[in-house]
Amino acid sequence: MDSYESWSSHQTASNADLENRLYDFLRYCRQQQDADQVLQHFHQLFIQADYFPDETIWDTLVELAHRPHAEREFKYTLNRCSYTLANPWSTDPRSHWAVPALVQLFEQIPTAPASTAETQTIRKLSRLFAQTDQYAALRRFANLIDDQSEDAVLPLDDQPVGKQLKRYPFLYDSSLLTKDSDQHQKSQVGKLRQEAEAKLGVQLARYCDQQKRGGSKTVQNPTQLSSEELSQALDYYTGKVEGNRSHRDLAQMFQTYSKTVRSFRDFKEEFLEYLLSPLADADPRYVNNHFGRALRQYLRDTLNDFDGQRLTEFIVITTCQKLLNFLVVQGRQQPVFRRFWQLLNDAGHTLTVGLLLRVVLFCSAVKPWLENRMTVLFNYHEKHMCKEVPWLVGTLEHMNIALLTNFGKFGYSFT
Protein backbone atom coordinates (compact mmCIF):
# COMPACT_ATOMS: atom_id res chain seq x y z
CA MET A 1 0.00 0.00 0.00
CA ASP A 2 1.31 3.45 -0.86
CA SER A 3 1.75 5.86 2.00
CA TYR A 4 -1.53 7.64 2.53
CA GLU A 5 -0.06 10.68 4.23
CA SER A 6 3.26 11.89 5.60
CA TRP A 7 4.31 14.52 8.09
CA SER A 8 7.53 15.80 9.62
CA SER A 9 7.18 14.98 13.28
CA HIS A 10 4.91 12.71 15.29
CA GLN A 11 6.42 13.99 18.49
CA THR A 12 5.11 17.52 18.03
CA ALA A 13 1.65 16.51 16.80
CA SER A 14 -1.27 16.87 19.18
CA ASN A 15 -3.43 13.92 20.15
CA ALA A 16 -6.24 15.35 18.01
CA ASP A 17 -3.95 15.59 14.97
CA LEU A 18 -2.79 12.01 15.36
CA GLU A 19 -6.33 10.72 15.92
CA ASN A 20 -7.63 12.57 12.88
CA ARG A 21 -4.96 10.97 10.72
CA LEU A 22 -6.21 7.55 11.80
CA TYR A 23 -9.83 8.50 11.15
CA ASP A 24 -8.99 9.98 7.76
CA PHE A 25 -7.05 6.87 6.80
CA LEU A 26 -9.90 4.54 7.73
CA ARG A 27 -12.37 6.78 5.93
CA TYR A 28 -10.17 6.72 2.84
CA CYS A 29 -9.93 2.92 2.98
CA ARG A 30 -13.70 2.55 3.32
CA GLN A 31 -14.30 4.77 0.30
CA GLN A 32 -11.71 3.03 -1.89
CA GLN A 33 -11.92 -0.64 -0.86
CA ASP A 34 -14.52 -3.28 -0.14
CA ALA A 35 -15.44 -4.11 3.44
CA ASP A 36 -13.39 -7.32 3.52
CA GLN A 37 -10.18 -5.43 2.78
CA VAL A 38 -10.98 -2.69 5.29
CA LEU A 39 -11.61 -5.27 8.02
CA GLN A 40 -8.23 -6.82 7.23
CA HIS A 41 -6.53 -3.45 7.69
CA PHE A 42 -8.39 -2.89 10.97
CA HIS A 43 -7.32 -6.35 12.15
CA GLN A 44 -3.71 -5.68 11.22
CA LEU A 45 -3.68 -2.35 13.05
CA PHE A 46 -5.58 -2.98 16.26
CA ILE A 47 -5.83 -6.76 16.75
CA GLN A 48 -2.69 -8.40 15.37
CA ALA A 49 -0.80 -5.13 15.79
CA ASP A 50 2.61 -6.44 14.74
CA TYR A 51 2.93 -5.06 11.22
CA PHE A 52 1.31 -2.57 8.89
CA PRO A 53 2.56 -1.74 5.37
CA ASP A 54 1.90 2.00 5.65
CA GLU A 55 4.65 3.08 8.03
CA THR A 56 3.22 6.54 8.65
CA ILE A 57 -0.10 5.10 9.87
CA TRP A 58 1.70 2.52 11.99
CA ASP A 59 3.90 5.20 13.55
CA THR A 60 0.82 7.28 14.31
CA LEU A 61 -0.82 4.37 16.12
CA VAL A 62 2.31 3.56 18.08
CA GLU A 63 2.71 7.19 19.13
CA LEU A 64 -0.90 7.35 20.36
CA ALA A 65 -0.53 4.07 22.24
CA HIS A 66 2.51 5.42 24.12
CA ARG A 67 1.07 8.82 25.00
CA PRO A 68 0.45 9.58 28.69
CA HIS A 69 -2.95 8.37 29.92
CA ALA A 70 -3.37 6.09 26.89
CA GLU A 71 -4.87 3.35 29.06
CA ARG A 72 -7.61 5.78 30.04
CA GLU A 73 -8.09 7.68 26.78
CA PHE A 74 -7.25 5.33 23.91
CA LYS A 75 -10.69 3.69 24.21
CA TYR A 76 -12.22 6.90 22.86
CA THR A 77 -9.90 6.85 19.85
CA LEU A 78 -10.60 3.19 19.13
CA ASN A 79 -14.32 3.78 19.58
CA ARG A 80 -14.35 6.52 16.97
CA CYS A 81 -12.18 4.45 14.62
CA SER A 82 -14.81 1.72 14.87
CA TYR A 83 -17.73 4.04 14.17
CA THR A 84 -15.88 5.68 11.29
CA LEU A 85 -16.47 2.34 9.57
CA ALA A 86 -19.61 1.04 11.29
CA ASN A 87 -21.85 4.06 10.74
CA PRO A 88 -21.55 4.17 6.93
CA TRP A 89 -21.77 0.37 6.72
CA SER A 90 -24.97 0.44 8.76
CA THR A 91 -26.68 2.61 6.14
CA ASP A 92 -25.82 0.24 3.28
CA PRO A 93 -27.75 -3.07 3.43
CA ARG A 94 -25.03 -4.76 1.38
CA SER A 95 -22.50 -3.96 4.11
CA HIS A 96 -24.61 -4.73 7.19
CA TRP A 97 -22.67 -7.96 7.73
CA ALA A 98 -19.46 -5.98 8.21
CA VAL A 99 -20.68 -4.26 11.40
CA PRO A 100 -20.93 -7.44 13.53
CA ALA A 101 -17.78 -8.70 11.79
CA LEU A 102 -15.95 -5.59 13.01
CA VAL A 103 -17.17 -6.14 16.57
CA GLN A 104 -16.13 -9.79 16.49
CA LEU A 105 -12.54 -8.81 15.70
CA PHE A 106 -12.12 -7.79 19.34
CA GLU A 107 -12.79 -11.39 20.35
CA GLN A 108 -9.72 -12.48 18.35
CA ILE A 109 -6.97 -10.52 20.12
CA PRO A 110 -3.94 -12.83 20.52
CA THR A 111 -3.11 -13.73 24.12
CA ALA A 112 0.40 -15.10 23.53
CA PRO A 113 3.35 -12.83 24.43
CA ALA A 114 4.08 -10.34 21.65
CA SER A 115 7.43 -10.04 19.90
CA THR A 116 7.71 -6.27 20.47
CA ALA A 117 6.70 -3.79 23.15
CA GLU A 118 4.63 -1.81 20.62
CA THR A 119 2.57 -4.86 19.70
CA GLN A 120 2.09 -5.78 23.35
CA THR A 121 0.91 -2.26 24.20
CA ILE A 122 -1.59 -1.96 21.33
CA ARG A 123 -3.05 -5.40 21.99
CA LYS A 124 -3.41 -4.52 25.65
CA LEU A 125 -5.25 -1.29 24.77
CA SER A 126 -7.56 -3.16 22.39
CA ARG A 127 -8.22 -5.76 25.09
CA LEU A 128 -9.07 -2.99 27.56
CA PHE A 129 -11.41 -1.42 25.00
CA ALA A 130 -13.35 -4.71 24.79
CA GLN A 131 -14.18 -4.29 28.51
CA THR A 132 -15.59 -0.76 28.25
CA ASP A 133 -19.05 0.76 28.01
CA GLN A 134 -18.01 2.01 24.57
CA TYR A 135 -17.46 -1.51 23.27
CA ALA A 136 -20.69 -2.74 24.89
CA ALA A 137 -22.59 0.01 23.05
CA LEU A 138 -20.80 -0.86 19.80
CA ARG A 139 -21.76 -4.53 20.25
CA ARG A 140 -25.42 -3.55 20.75
CA PHE A 141 -25.23 -1.37 17.66
CA ALA A 142 -24.02 -4.41 15.74
CA ASN A 143 -26.90 -6.49 17.12
CA LEU A 144 -29.28 -3.83 15.90
CA ILE A 145 -27.82 -3.82 12.39
CA ASP A 146 -27.20 -7.56 12.09
CA ASP A 147 -29.89 -9.02 9.83
CA GLN A 148 -28.17 -12.38 9.35
CA SER A 149 -27.97 -13.52 12.97
CA GLU A 150 -28.37 -17.24 13.60
CA ASP A 151 -30.39 -16.40 16.73
CA ALA A 152 -33.13 -14.84 14.60
CA VAL A 153 -34.37 -18.26 13.45
CA LEU A 154 -34.78 -19.54 17.01
CA PRO A 155 -38.02 -19.24 19.02
CA LEU A 156 -38.11 -16.02 21.05
CA ASP A 157 -37.70 -17.91 24.34
CA ASP A 158 -34.39 -19.32 23.16
CA GLN A 159 -32.93 -16.02 21.99
CA PRO A 160 -30.75 -13.76 24.17
CA VAL A 161 -32.42 -10.65 25.54
CA GLY A 162 -29.69 -8.55 23.89
CA LYS A 163 -30.80 -9.69 20.45
CA GLN A 164 -34.23 -8.10 21.04
CA LEU A 165 -32.96 -4.50 21.09
CA LYS A 166 -34.36 -3.85 17.61
CA ARG A 167 -37.88 -4.32 19.00
CA TYR A 168 -37.59 -1.55 21.61
CA PRO A 169 -36.61 1.82 20.13
CA PHE A 170 -37.09 3.59 23.46
CA LEU A 171 -33.91 1.79 24.61
CA TYR A 172 -31.75 3.00 21.72
CA ASP A 173 -30.42 6.25 23.18
CA SER A 174 -29.19 4.81 26.47
CA SER A 175 -28.04 1.47 25.00
CA LEU A 176 -26.19 2.77 21.94
CA LEU A 177 -24.74 6.09 23.08
CA THR A 178 -21.97 6.80 25.57
CA LYS A 179 -20.65 10.00 27.06
CA ASP A 180 -18.12 10.42 24.24
CA SER A 181 -20.59 9.80 21.37
CA ASP A 182 -20.20 12.59 18.83
CA GLN A 183 -23.02 14.46 17.14
CA HIS A 184 -22.86 12.24 14.07
CA GLN A 185 -23.40 9.12 16.16
CA LYS A 186 -26.24 10.76 18.07
CA SER A 187 -27.90 11.71 14.80
CA GLN A 188 -27.46 8.18 13.46
CA VAL A 189 -29.03 6.61 16.55
CA GLY A 190 -31.81 9.22 16.50
CA LYS A 191 -32.59 8.35 12.90
CA LEU A 192 -32.66 4.61 13.65
CA ARG A 193 -34.95 5.23 16.61
CA GLN A 194 -37.32 7.41 14.61
CA GLU A 195 -37.53 4.82 11.84
CA ALA A 196 -38.16 1.98 14.29
CA GLU A 197 -40.85 3.92 16.16
CA ALA A 198 -42.59 4.89 12.93
CA LYS A 199 -42.52 1.30 11.66
CA LEU A 200 -43.90 -0.12 14.89
CA GLY A 201 -46.45 2.67 15.16
CA VAL A 202 -47.83 1.97 11.69
CA GLN A 203 -47.91 -1.79 12.36
CA LEU A 204 -49.75 -1.26 15.62
CA ALA A 205 -52.19 1.18 14.05
CA ARG A 206 -53.01 -1.24 11.22
CA TYR A 207 -53.48 -4.08 13.66
CA CYS A 208 -55.82 -2.06 15.87
CA ASP A 209 -57.78 -0.82 12.86
CA GLN A 210 -58.22 -4.38 11.62
CA GLN A 211 -59.37 -5.50 15.08
CA LYS A 212 -62.01 -2.77 15.15
CA ARG A 213 -63.24 -3.31 11.60
CA GLY A 214 -63.03 -7.10 11.51
CA GLY A 215 -63.16 -8.66 8.09
CA SER A 216 -61.21 -11.50 6.50
CA LYS A 217 -57.87 -9.74 6.14
CA THR A 218 -55.49 -10.72 8.93
CA VAL A 219 -52.92 -8.20 10.17
CA GLN A 220 -50.18 -9.71 12.30
CA ASN A 221 -49.92 -8.66 15.94
CA PRO A 222 -46.63 -6.66 15.98
CA THR A 223 -45.96 -7.36 19.68
CA GLN A 224 -45.03 -10.39 21.75
CA LEU A 225 -48.27 -10.01 23.74
CA SER A 226 -51.34 -12.09 23.04
CA SER A 227 -54.21 -10.36 21.23
CA GLU A 228 -56.12 -10.17 24.51
CA GLU A 229 -53.14 -8.75 26.42
CA LEU A 230 -52.51 -6.19 23.68
CA SER A 231 -56.14 -5.09 23.64
CA GLN A 232 -56.18 -4.67 27.43
CA ALA A 233 -52.90 -2.74 27.36
CA LEU A 234 -54.13 -0.35 24.68
CA ASP A 235 -57.39 0.23 26.52
CA TYR A 236 -55.56 0.98 29.74
CA TYR A 237 -52.79 3.22 28.40
CA THR A 238 -55.03 5.27 26.09
CA GLY A 239 -58.59 4.76 27.30
CA LYS A 240 -60.57 5.99 30.29
CA VAL A 241 -59.21 4.88 33.66
CA GLU A 242 -60.98 7.18 36.13
CA GLY A 243 -64.47 8.24 35.22
CA ASN A 244 -64.28 9.74 31.76
CA ARG A 245 -60.57 10.60 31.93
CA SER A 246 -57.45 8.99 30.49
CA HIS A 247 -54.00 8.94 32.08
CA ARG A 248 -53.09 11.89 29.88
CA ASP A 249 -56.17 13.86 31.03
CA LEU A 250 -55.37 13.19 34.68
CA ALA A 251 -51.72 14.18 34.19
CA GLN A 252 -52.75 17.49 32.65
CA MET A 253 -55.15 18.13 35.53
CA PHE A 254 -52.42 17.40 38.05
CA GLN A 255 -50.02 19.69 36.18
CA THR A 256 -52.56 22.49 36.54
CA TYR A 257 -52.97 21.77 40.24
CA SER A 258 -49.22 21.69 40.86
CA LYS A 259 -48.91 25.30 39.68
CA THR A 260 -51.16 26.44 42.54
CA VAL A 261 -49.89 24.21 45.37
CA ARG A 262 -48.65 26.13 48.39
CA SER A 263 -45.57 24.07 49.24
CA PHE A 264 -43.49 21.14 48.12
CA ARG A 265 -44.72 19.24 51.19
CA ASP A 266 -48.34 19.62 50.09
CA PHE A 267 -47.41 18.66 46.53
CA LYS A 268 -45.85 15.37 47.65
CA GLU A 269 -49.00 14.30 49.48
CA GLU A 270 -51.16 15.02 46.44
CA PHE A 271 -48.59 13.43 44.13
CA LEU A 272 -48.77 10.22 46.16
CA GLU A 273 -52.55 10.09 45.71
CA TYR A 274 -52.21 10.82 41.97
CA LEU A 275 -49.74 7.94 41.60
CA LEU A 276 -51.48 5.38 43.77
CA SER A 277 -55.09 5.91 42.69
CA PRO A 278 -55.06 3.34 39.81
CA LEU A 279 -53.45 0.73 42.06
CA ALA A 280 -55.85 1.51 44.89
CA ASP A 281 -58.82 1.26 42.51
CA ALA A 282 -57.65 -2.21 41.51
CA ASP A 283 -56.88 -3.25 45.09
CA PRO A 284 -57.59 -0.91 48.07
CA ARG A 285 -54.77 -2.55 50.02
CA TYR A 286 -52.25 -0.52 48.01
CA VAL A 287 -53.20 2.56 50.04
CA ASN A 288 -51.49 1.16 53.11
CA ASN A 289 -49.70 -2.06 52.20
CA HIS A 290 -45.91 -2.43 52.27
CA PHE A 291 -45.45 -0.84 48.84
CA GLY A 292 -47.83 2.05 49.57
CA ARG A 293 -46.15 2.80 52.91
CA ALA A 294 -42.66 2.60 51.38
CA LEU A 295 -43.64 4.95 48.53
CA ARG A 296 -45.24 7.41 50.96
CA GLN A 297 -42.18 7.47 53.19
CA TYR A 298 -39.80 7.78 50.23
CA LEU A 299 -41.67 10.78 48.84
CA ARG A 300 -41.83 12.46 52.23
CA ASP A 301 -38.06 12.03 52.67
CA THR A 302 -37.22 13.21 49.15
CA LEU A 303 -35.66 16.70 49.12
CA ASN A 304 -37.29 17.36 52.50
CA ASP A 305 -35.09 20.44 52.98
CA PHE A 306 -37.32 22.05 50.32
CA ASP A 307 -40.62 21.08 51.98
CA GLY A 308 -41.58 24.61 52.90
CA GLN A 309 -40.77 26.09 49.48
CA ARG A 310 -42.92 26.64 46.45
CA LEU A 311 -42.62 24.15 43.64
CA THR A 312 -39.94 24.77 41.00
CA GLU A 313 -39.00 22.96 37.81
CA PHE A 314 -35.79 21.74 39.43
CA ILE A 315 -37.68 20.27 42.39
CA VAL A 316 -40.22 18.51 40.16
CA ILE A 317 -37.65 17.00 37.79
CA THR A 318 -35.32 15.89 40.59
CA THR A 319 -38.20 14.36 42.56
CA CYS A 320 -39.47 12.45 39.52
CA GLN A 321 -35.98 11.15 38.68
CA LYS A 322 -35.51 9.92 42.24
CA LEU A 323 -38.98 8.40 42.16
CA LEU A 324 -38.14 6.41 39.00
CA ASN A 325 -34.98 5.17 40.70
CA PHE A 326 -37.15 4.00 43.60
CA LEU A 327 -39.82 2.40 41.42
CA VAL A 328 -37.62 0.75 38.77
CA VAL A 329 -33.94 0.34 39.57
CA GLN A 330 -31.20 1.79 41.74
CA GLY A 331 -27.62 1.69 40.53
CA ARG A 332 -26.12 0.55 37.25
CA GLN A 333 -23.19 -1.83 37.74
CA GLN A 334 -25.02 -3.89 40.37
CA PRO A 335 -28.61 -2.76 39.95
CA VAL A 336 -31.20 -3.29 42.67
CA PHE A 337 -34.69 -3.86 41.25
CA ARG A 338 -36.36 -6.18 43.76
CA ARG A 339 -39.15 -3.69 44.47
CA PHE A 340 -39.97 -3.36 40.77
CA TRP A 341 -39.95 -7.13 40.28
CA GLN A 342 -42.23 -7.59 43.29
CA LEU A 343 -44.67 -4.95 42.05
CA LEU A 344 -44.84 -6.67 38.67
CA ASN A 345 -45.63 -9.96 40.39
CA ASP A 346 -48.27 -8.42 42.64
CA ALA A 347 -49.95 -5.86 40.36
CA GLY A 348 -49.09 -7.13 36.88
CA HIS A 349 -47.48 -5.43 33.90
CA THR A 350 -50.36 -3.14 32.96
CA LEU A 351 -50.78 -1.44 36.34
CA THR A 352 -47.03 -1.28 36.98
CA VAL A 353 -46.18 0.29 33.62
CA GLY A 354 -49.25 2.51 33.98
CA LEU A 355 -47.76 3.86 37.24
CA LEU A 356 -44.53 4.77 35.44
CA LEU A 357 -46.52 6.28 32.58
CA ARG A 358 -48.29 8.63 35.02
CA VAL A 359 -44.90 9.94 36.20
CA VAL A 360 -43.67 10.81 32.69
CA LEU A 361 -47.02 12.16 31.51
CA PHE A 362 -46.94 14.58 34.42
CA CYS A 363 -43.26 15.46 33.89
CA SER A 364 -42.22 14.70 30.32
CA ALA A 365 -38.70 15.99 31.04
CA VAL A 366 -37.95 12.71 32.86
CA LYS A 367 -39.08 10.45 30.01
CA PRO A 368 -35.41 9.97 28.95
CA TRP A 369 -34.63 9.02 32.54
CA LEU A 370 -37.35 6.35 32.52
CA GLU A 371 -35.90 5.02 29.26
CA ASN A 372 -32.49 5.01 30.94
CA ARG A 373 -33.83 3.02 33.90
CA MET A 374 -35.34 0.46 31.53
CA THR A 375 -32.02 0.31 29.68
CA VAL A 376 -30.21 -0.53 32.93
CA LEU A 377 -32.49 -3.55 33.33
CA PHE A 378 -32.08 -4.52 29.67
CA ASN A 379 -28.30 -4.24 29.67
CA TYR A 380 -27.99 -6.14 32.95
CA HIS A 381 -29.98 -9.06 31.53
CA GLU A 382 -28.88 -8.92 27.89
CA LYS A 383 -26.99 -12.23 28.05
CA HIS A 384 -29.96 -14.07 29.59
CA MET A 385 -32.31 -16.10 27.43
CA CYS A 386 -35.74 -14.51 27.09
CA LYS A 387 -37.37 -17.53 28.76
CA GLU A 388 -35.27 -16.84 31.87
CA VAL A 389 -36.69 -13.33 32.34
CA PRO A 390 -40.28 -13.32 31.02
CA TRP A 391 -41.11 -10.49 33.43
CA LEU A 392 -38.58 -8.25 31.67
CA VAL A 393 -39.75 -9.12 28.14
CA GLY A 394 -43.34 -8.39 29.20
CA THR A 395 -42.28 -5.07 30.73
CA LEU A 396 -40.48 -3.98 27.57
CA GLU A 397 -43.49 -4.89 25.41
CA HIS A 398 -45.86 -2.92 27.65
CA MET A 399 -43.47 0.02 27.84
CA ASN A 400 -43.26 0.09 24.04
CA ILE A 401 -47.04 0.42 23.81
CA ALA A 402 -47.41 2.91 26.66
CA LEU A 403 -44.74 5.28 25.33
CA LEU A 404 -45.59 4.90 21.65
CA THR A 405 -49.29 5.58 22.09
CA ASN A 406 -48.82 8.54 24.43
CA PHE A 407 -45.70 10.14 22.95
CA GLY A 408 -45.55 8.79 19.39
CA LYS A 409 -45.73 11.15 16.41
CA PHE A 410 -46.71 8.84 13.61
CA GLY A 411 -50.18 10.31 13.06
CA TYR A 412 -52.49 7.69 14.52
CA SER A 413 -54.74 8.13 17.56
CA PHE A 414 -55.70 5.25 19.77
CA THR A 415 -58.10 7.19 21.94
- Residue with more model confidence, 114 or 83: 83
Position 411 confidence tier, pLDDT thresholds 50, 70, 90: very low
Domain endpoint, select from 132, 148, 164: 148
Domain endpoint, select from 121, 148, 175: 148
* 130 lies in the same domain as 254: no
Taking residues 315-329, report their average pLDDT: 98
* 303 lies in the same domain as 402: yes
**CB neighbour burial string for 296-308, b if at least 16 within 10 angstroms, e if fewer:** bebbeebeeebee
DSSP 168: -
- pTM of the predicted protein model: 0.91
Residue pair 315/306 in contact (Cβ under 8 Å)? The answer is: yes
Position 4 confidence tier, pLDDT thresholds 50, 70, 90: very low
* 208 lies in the same domain as 309: yes
Residue 157 lies in a domain: no
pLDDT for position 5: 41
CA distances from 93 to 101, 206, 367 (A): 14, 26, 32
- Number of domains making up the chain: 2
Which tens digit of pLDDT belongs to each residue from 224-262?
A: 999 999 999 999 999 999 888 999 999 999 999 999 999
**CB neighbour burial string for 215-253, b if at least 16 within 10 angstroms, e if fewer:** eeeeeebbbbbeeebbebbbebbbeebeeeebbbbbbee
Alpha-carbon distance of 363 to 356, in angstroms, equals 11
At residue 215, what are phi and psi to the nearest 5 degrees? Answer: 95, 175
Terminus-to-terminus CA distance in the chain, angstroms? 63
Residue 314 lies in a domain: yes
Alpha-carbon distance of 61 to 45, in angstroms, equals 8
Residue 326 lies in a domain: yes
Residue 348 lies in a domain: yes
Alpha-carbon distance of 224 to 367, in angstroms, equals 23
Mean pLDDT of the chain: 91
DSSP string covering 355-388, please? HHHHHHHH-GGGHHHHHHHHHHHHHHTTTSBGGG
* 135 lies in the same domain as 239: no
Residue 412 lies in a domain: no
Residue 174 lies in a domain: no
* 250 lies in the same domain as 366: yes
CA distances from 203 to 166, 210, 301, 410 (A): 15, 11, 44, 11
pLDDT for position 149: 67
* 105 lies in the same domain as 251: no
Alpha-carbon distance of 330 to 224, in angstroms, equals 27
pLDDT for position 150: 64
* 126 lies in the same domain as 192: no
* 140 lies in the same domain as 191: no
- Residue with more model confidence, 185 or 212: 185
* 92 lies in the same domain as 218: no
Residue 261 lies in a domain: yes
* 143 lies in the same domain as 190: no
Spatial neighbors of 292 by CB under 8 A, at least 6 apart, are 276, 279, 280, 285, 286
Count of helix runs (H) and strand runs (E) in the chain: 18, 0
Quote the domain boundaries for residue 69: 15-148
Which tens digit of pLDDT belongs to each residue from 167-191?
A: 999 999 999 999 999 999 999 999 9
Alpha-carbon distance of 145 to 221, in angstroms, equals 23
Residue 108 lies in a domain: yes
* 108 lies in the same domain as 63: yes
* 194 lies in the same domain as 317: yes
Taking residues 287-301, report their average pLDDT: 94
pLDDT for position 86: 96
pLDDT for position 332: 85
Residue pair 328/295 in contact (Cβ under 8 Å)? The answer is: no
276-280, Cβ contacts within 8 angstroms, sequence gap of 24 or more: 277/242, 278/241, 278/242, 278/351, 278/354, 278/355, 278/358, 279/347, 279/351, 279/355
pLDDT for position 152: 66
